[in-house]
Amino acid sequence: MTAPVFVVDRLDPAGPEFVLDGPEGRHAVSVKRLRPGEPVILTDGRGRWAEGAVQAAEGKDRLVVTGLETVREEEPASPRITVVQALPKGDRGELAVETMTEVGVDAIVPWQASRCVTQWRGERGLKALAKWRATAREAGKQSRR
Which domain range does residue 28 map to? 5-73
State how far the alpha carbon of 76 is from the alpha carbons of 5, 8, 47, 48, 95, in Å. 18, 19, 7, 11, 24
Does one domain contain both 49 and 96?
no
End-of-domain residue from the set 56, 73, 90: 73
Would you state the pLDDT for residue 14?
64
State how far the alpha carbon of 67 is from the alpha carbons of 15, 22, 52, 110, in Å. 10, 21, 5, 40
Would you state the pLDDT for residue 101?
93
End-of-domain residue from the set 43, 73, 103: 73
Q: Answer yes or no: are the C-beta atoms of 25 and 7 closer than 8 Å.
A: no
What CATH number does the domain containing 45 carry?
2.40.240.20
End-of-domain residue from the set 48, 73, 98: 73
Would you state the pLDDT for residue 99?
95
DSSP 76: P
- Alpha-carbon distance of 143 to 70, in angstroms, equals 22
In the chain, the number of structural domains is: 2
Q: Write out the chain's pLDDT in tens, 145 residues.
A: 688 888 888 877 666 788 888 888 898 888 889 999 999 998 888 888 889 999 988 888 888 998 887 888 888 888 999 999 999 888 899 999 999 999 999 999 999 888 888 888 888 889 999 999 999 988 988 887 7
Does one domain contain both 69 and 89?
no
